Chain A
Amino acid sequence: DAKTTQPNSMESNEEEPVHLPCNHSTISGTDYIHWYRQLPSQGPEYVIHGLTSNVNNRMASLAIAEDRKSSTLILHRATLRDAAVYYCILRAFNYGQNFVFGPGTRLSVLP
């Protein structure tokens, strides 16, 4: 699986937007971009995924660069509950693809 790079940590104030970047310069045409997050003492949970176009759901938005070599996860209004480690993962669409997790970005949200 292709490698992603993310900042080790980021900080945000509560109720402000947060932009979490991810670089994936070696992405292939069949790779989807997935974001998961892991709250303290829990297993990872799905946030969002996309291929080429920007995606929105109730949790977040995913902005994908035109060349697909980078993406940004956008939390529109950070809450204290959004404090977690956020993982950006590439995964091809076919069967049997496991996730290759990096160290992720630890997001702290300040009240």
Chain B
Amino acid sequence: GAGVSQTPSNKVTEKGKYVELRCDPISGHTALYWYRQSLGQGPEFLIYFQGTGAADDSGLPNDRFFAVRPEGSVSTLKIQRTERGDSAVYLCASSLTGRGTDTQYFGPGTRLTVL
């Protein structure tokens, strides 16, 4: 079956611009997670959705970052006034219920480069 998909696979933008990154989770998965991964490091948690609501956004680095999941499926991560330090791979994952024992299924990521 279809896994988690993310678009675009690569995004190059200029400092100060606005970007949107999209995540399509596995159908029927109620939990959705966003992570950010810098070169040579493990993924870093950003935000967790349970259904349509953001249950935990403690990992968002500042108010330039925002994410939505209006219908409880597709999610969009939005970054305003991008900075060079935002360059990273942004990973999305989904799981069936959000329980701690659930497997998280990760997408291939979106590589964001801010020039």
Contacts and interface: CB of A to CB of B under 8 A. Distances in A.
Interface of A: 32, 36, 41-46, 49, 85, 87, 91-104
A55 B42 CA distance: 24
A44 B91 CA distance: 9
Majority SS at the chain A contact face: loop
B42 A42 contact: no
A99 B45 contact: yes
A88 B36 CA distance: 18
B31 to A, nearest CB: 8
Given A36-B104, A91-B100, 15 more contacts: A43-B93, A43-B109, A46-B103, A46-B104, A87-B42, A91-B101, A93-B100, A95-B55, A96-B56, A96-B98, A98-B56, A99-B43, A99-B104, A101-B35, A103-B42
Categorize the interface residue count of chain B: 20 to 34
Given A44-B106, A45-B106, A101 B44 contact: yes
Contact of A32 (B35, B48, B101, B108): B101
Contact of B100 (A36, A97, A100, A101): A97
B40 interface: yes
